[in-house]
């Protein structure tokens, strides 16, 4: 084979190999989602969304309390994650201080890499130990801490994209600086910030590890935010490792619901980001 042909062949082969790598990377997505659809789709019925779990061994029942529990936990998490994330991102993007903004940004990146179970330990020592019981509050704190770096960094990026001329126009109109920031800059950035928040919510909706010893899970409806509460992810885990076939089927259904929420939110966020990028051009 001449050198020319060999180079051509190598080029082709490498191209195919990299494509094969990409295909192999995507393959699990199809496998996982396929199995979920197949196994979980058959178990999804109205009962699933409206009933609470039946006692051990009895067939039927659903995950209504887990679904509601997840929503409540997300709400609690947002109570911590949104103010700290959005205002923190605003600070890092706008502040003229010398060192603090980059320190905060660095710490946010560090926090982003901390395993969620370790964050769960933190919430345990902070909330569960003093309260002497597991609670929705503790779970909310854990998930909120996980949210912070995601919301903070996306908010920072979006605020940086707001043109300085808009700020100047607001100031030139005779508006105080804080009003320019809140009513003009944040308003202009709200689409991007919302996207970041949605991505963060998609992430915490699927989190299980930190909830294992904070929210703990609950087979029934919770009786207050200072009580253990069910969550979809915990329930799926508990059913998956159980010995009961019926629970296994419900685990598949729960996983299907979880993954559908996550996919939908990711898709919407992706489309919204594409629009924003097109606008910015």
Partner 1 sequence: MADGLQVTELNAWFGTRQVLMNVNLRVPSNAVTALIGPSGCGKSTFVRCINRMHEVVPGARSSGQVLLNGDDLYGPGVDPVMVRRRIGMVFQKPNPFPTMSVFDNVAAGLRLAGVRDKNLLHDVVERALRQAALWDEVKDELYKPGSSLSGGQQQRLCIARAVAVQPEVLLMDEPCSALDPIATARIEELILDLKKDLTIVIVTHNMQQAARVSEWTGFFLMGELIEIGVTRDLFTHPREKKTEDYITGRFG
Partner 2 sequence: MSEADARRGGGSQAVSLPRAFFIASGRNVWGDRLFQGCLYAVIALFLAIMVGMVGALVVESLPAARRFGLSFVFGLEWDPVQESFGALPFIYGTVVSAAVGMALAVPLGIGAAIYLAEVAPFPVRAPVGFLIELLAAVPSVVYGLWGIFVLAPFLRQWVEPALGSTLGWLPLFKGPPYGVGMLAAGLILSVMTVPFIATVGREVLLAVPNTQREAALALGATSWETTRVAVLPYGRSGLIGAVLLGLGRALGETMAVTMVIGNRPEISASLFAPGYTMASVLANEFTEATSDLYLSALVEIGLLLFVVTVLVNALARLLVWTVGGAVKGIRE
Q: Which of 96, 99, 113, 130 binds partner 1 (CB under 8 A)?
A: 96
1 binds partner 1 (CB under 8 A): no
Q: Which does 188 bind (CB under 5 to 8 A by kind): partner 2, partner 1, none?
A: partner 1
By CB under 8 A, tell whether 227 contacts partner 2. no
Q: Which option in partner 1, partner 2, none does residue 96 bind, with CB closer than 5 to 8 A by kind?
A: partner 1
**Is the separation of the CB atoms in 230 and 69 below 8 Å?**
yes
Near partner 1 by CB under 8 A: residue from 39, 52, 188, 260? 188
Cα 242 to Cα 201: distance, rounded to the nearest angstrom: 28
CB environment 11-20: b (16+ within 10 A), e (fewer): eeeeeeeeee
The single residue among 76, 146, 213, 222 that binds partner 2, judged by CB under 8 A, is 213
- Cite the DSSP H helix spans in the chain: 3-35, 41-43, 46-50, 64-94, 100-113, 116-123, 129-131, 136-161, 164-172, 177-179, 186-205, 232-240, 245-280
Residue number with CB closer to partner 1 (25 or 164)? 164
218 binds partner 2 (CB under 8 A): no
Give, as ranges, the residues between 2 and 61 that touch partner 2 (CB under 8 A): 7-8, 10-11, 14-15, 17-22, 24-26, 28-29, 31-32, 35-36, 39
163 binds partner 1 (CB under 8 A): yes
- Options 33-41, 183-191, 195-203, 269-277: segment touching partner 1 (CB under 8 A): 183-191
**Residue-wise DSSP of 150-218:** HHHHHHHHHHHHS-HHHHHHHHHTT--HHHIIIIIIHHHHHHHHHHHHHHHHHHHHT--GGGTTTTB--
In angstroms, rounded to a whole number, what is the distance separating the alpha carbons of residues 94 and 216?
A: 39
| 181 is a site residue for partner 2 (CB under 8 A) | yes
Return residues touching partner 1 (CB under 8 A).
96, 163, 165-166, 168-176, 179, 183-184, 187-188, 190, 279
């Amino acid at each position: 084979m001449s050198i020319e042909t060999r180079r051509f062949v190598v080029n082709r082969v490498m191209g195919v190999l990299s494509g094969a790598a990409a295909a192999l990377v995507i393959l699990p997505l199809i496998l996982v989602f396929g199995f979920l659809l197949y196994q979980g789709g058959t178990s999804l019925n109205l009962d699933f969304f409206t009933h609470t779990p039946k006692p051990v061994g009895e067939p039927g029942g659903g995950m209504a309390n887990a679904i509601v529990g997840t929503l409540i936990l997300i709400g609690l998490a947002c109570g911590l994650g949104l103010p700290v994330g959005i205002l923190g991102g605003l600070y890092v993007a706008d502040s003229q201080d010398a060192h603090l903004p980059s320190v905060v940004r660095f710490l946010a990146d560090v926090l982003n890499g901390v395993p969620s179970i370790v964050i769960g330990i933190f919430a345990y020592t902070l909330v569960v130990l003093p309260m002497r019981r597991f609670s929705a509050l503790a779970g909310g704190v854990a998930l909120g801490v996980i949210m912070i770096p995601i919301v903070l960094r996306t908010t920072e990026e979006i605020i940086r994209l707001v043109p300085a001329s808009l700020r100047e126009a607001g100031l030139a109109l005779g508006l105080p600086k804080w009003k320019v920031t809140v009513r003009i800059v944040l308003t202009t950035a709200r689409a991007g910030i919302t996207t970041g928040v949605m991505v963060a919510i998609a992430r915490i909706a699927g989190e299980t590890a930190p909830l294992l010893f904070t929210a703990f899970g609950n087979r029934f409806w919770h009786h207050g935010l200072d009580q253990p509460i069910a969550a979809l992810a915990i329930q799926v885990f508990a059913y998956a490792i159980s010995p009961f076939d019926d629970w296994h089927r419900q685990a598949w259904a729960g996983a299907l619901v979880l993954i559908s929420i996550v996919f939908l939110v990711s898709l919407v966020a992706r489309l919204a980001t594409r629009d924003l990028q097109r606008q910015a051009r």
